[in-house]
Structure 1
Amino acid sequence: MMSFYKHLYPFLDTIKQILKYAKLLKKLCTNKRKKLKGDVEIRRNISTLIKSEKISTLI
């Protein structure tokens, strides 16, 4: 009976590691981004940069 338990412990440890890995993958795959207050300002700056690059290529 003891030999059965000796083989069972590594198996249980492996299952625990698989569950931890699954939780990690789930956390990495879910897209939980916090919205920033400066998000609109960044978009304005980028559009201004794009417009200035278009103007400089026309000149």
Structure 2
Amino acid sequence: MDKLVKRLPVGIDQLRQDRILEEALGNGADPLHLAHVFSLGAKASLRYTSAVAESEVEQEPNTR
């Protein structure tokens, strides 16, 4: 695995984090789903879902 990733500009941890965030975006930021699929603890899965929720709020158009 290291040989495959060695040429990439990011590491394995960054790829995993990106994959978790993508999964959270695609599945409605369900912390239980993330915990199950990626073997995350409760705090970690909530951190990812919170990040996705904050990102979605920032991207909403301001309707005031």
Into which bin does the TM-score normalised by the smaller protein fall? 0.3 to 0.5
1 or 2, which has the higher helix percentage?
1
The normalised TM-score by structure 1 is 0.37
Structure number, greater radius of gyration: 1
